[in-house]
Amino acid sequence: MDQLDALRIFLRVAEMASFTQAAQSLGLPKASISTAVQRLEAEMGTRLLHRTTRRVQMTPDGQTFYERSRDLLSDIEELQGMFRQGATQLRGRLRVDMPMGIARAIVMPQLPAFMQAHPGLQIELSSTDRRVDLVREGFDCVLRVGPLSDSSLVARPLGRYRMINCASPAYLAAFGVPQSLDDLAHHRLVHYASALGSKSMGFEYTTAQDDDTPRFIAMQGTLTVNNSDAYQAACLAGFGLIQVPEPGVKPLLEAGALVEVLPEFRAAPMQVSILYGNRRHVSQRLQVFMTWLAEVMRPHLAA
C-alpha cells in the first residue's frame, strides 16, 4: 500500500469517524485500514486519531493533517489526469448528496449525458431527505433545499422553489375543495417530520400584506411521514393536503392525479443551494459538476 492510498484511507476514517464504516465504503478489510493509519501515524511521528470503543475522533494534529491531505490528494488526482487522453479529461471520484425527489425527477434523467461527456469520472450519488454531514461523511458537495445553518461550508445559491398546495381528486370529492383558510378546520393535512415523533407546524402560508412572513395553521391529520416520496404517495392515496415544490408535482397536476388548492395561500419559496467544503482549492471535476448541476436545476427554479 503506497502513501497516497494511506492518505485516502485516513481521510475516509476521519470523515466517517469509524474504521468499520471506512473499511466497508472502501471495500477493504478492517485490519488493513487500521494498519494503514498506524503506519501513517508512525511516519508522521504523531497521533492523528483518538480511538475508543465507541468512536474515532481526530486529534488537533490529525485535523491539521486532514485539511492538508485533502487538498494534496485533490491536487495530485487532477495532476495525474492532465496528460491522460488530453488535458480536458476529468478523472476521479465525486461523492454528492441531494433530496430523493430531485435525484429521481431532475438529475438522474440528465446524468447519462454528463457521464458520457466525462467517462473518467466515478460518481457516488446519495439521495436522502436526511441532512448528511458533508465533512464527516466525505461528500464533495450537497444540494440542499431550505434554510442553511452550517456557516463552515461554502454556499452557492441556485434559486428558489415555488411551493404549491395540492390534494388528490378522491380526497377533494370526499372533503370538498377548501376555498379559504377558515375551511382548513374541516380538512386534513399529511404531516411531514424529518424525525418521527417531532411535531409538524401545520399548514404554512404567506400573504403579500404580511411581507411574505410565514404563518402557520394547526391542522388535524392521521398520517405523518419522514421522506418526500412517502409524502407524495400519501397525497395520491387521499390522506390529505400536502405542500410541495411545484416542479416535483407538475406532471401529476398536468395528468389530473393531483389538484392545486388555495393558490393564493402558498408556503414561502424554498431556497435551493449547492454546499461544498471551505477548501483552499476546489478540484476541476467538482467545479465542472457543480456548474452542470446548476444548469440542470435552472429551468425548475425561480430567481
CATH of the domain at 204: 3.40.190.10
Of 23, 53, 80, which closes a domain? Answer: 80
pLDDT at 87: 47
Integer Cα distance of 151 and 134 in angstroms? 12
pLDDT at 88: 58
Integer Cα distance of 64 and 69 in angstroms? 9
Please indicate, yes or no, if residue 273 is contained in any of the structural domains: no
Other C-beta atoms within 10 Å of 83: how many? Answer: 9
Q: What is the pLDDT of residues 19-67, one digit of tens each?
A: 988 888 888 999 999 999 999 999 999 999 998 877 888 998 988 888 7
Of 55, 80, 105, which closes a domain? Answer: 80
Nearest of 289, 222, 258, 285 to residue 88 by alpha carbon: 285
211 pLDDT above the threshold of 70: no
109 pLDDT above the threshold of 90: yes
Whether 102 and 15 map to the same domain: the answer is: no
Whether 40 and 61 map to the same domain: the answer is: yes
β-bridge mates for residue 155, sequence order? 275
Whether 288 and 147 map to the same domain: the answer is: yes
Whether 184 and 48 map to the same domain: the answer is: no
Whether 260 and 283 map to the same domain: the answer is: no
pTM to 2 decimals? 0.71
Please indicate, yes or no, if residue 71 is contained in any of the structural domains: yes
Q: Across all residues in the chain, what is the average pLDDT?
A: 87
Integer Cα distance of 178 and 262 in angstroms? 7
Please indicate, yes or no, if residue 274 is contained in any of the structural domains: no
Please indicate, yes or no, if residue 247 is contained in any of the structural domains: yes
Which residue range is the domain that position 182 belongs to? 163-268
Which strand (E) or helix (H) includes residue 51? strand 49-51
Integer Cα distance of 51 and 199 in angstroms? 37
Please indicate, yes or no, if residue 158 is contained in any of the structural domains: no
Of 80, 102, 133, which closes a domain? Answer: 80
Integer Cα distance of 62 and 46 in angstroms? 8
Integer Cα distance of 204 and 199 in angstroms? 14
267 pLDDT above the threshold of 80: yes
Integer Cα distance of 11 and 13 in angstroms? 6
Q: What is the pLDDT of residues 135-192, one digit of tens each?
A: 777 788 999 988 887 677 889 999 999 999 999 999 999 999 999 999 999 999 999 9
Whether 139 and 124 map to the same domain: the answer is: yes
Whether 146 and 292 map to the same domain: the answer is: yes
SS3 call for 151: coil
Whether 206 and 300 map to the same domain: the answer is: no
pLDDT at 83: 60
Please indicate, yes or no, if residue 259 is contained in any of the structural domains: yes
Integer Cα distance of 46 and 66 in angstroms? 13
Give just the sign of the alpha carbon dihedral 230, 235, 241, 245.
positive
Whether 54 and 28 map to the same domain: the answer is: yes
Place of cell 425527489: 101
Integer Cα distance of 76 and 138 in angstroms? 18
How many domains is the chain partitioned into structurally?
3
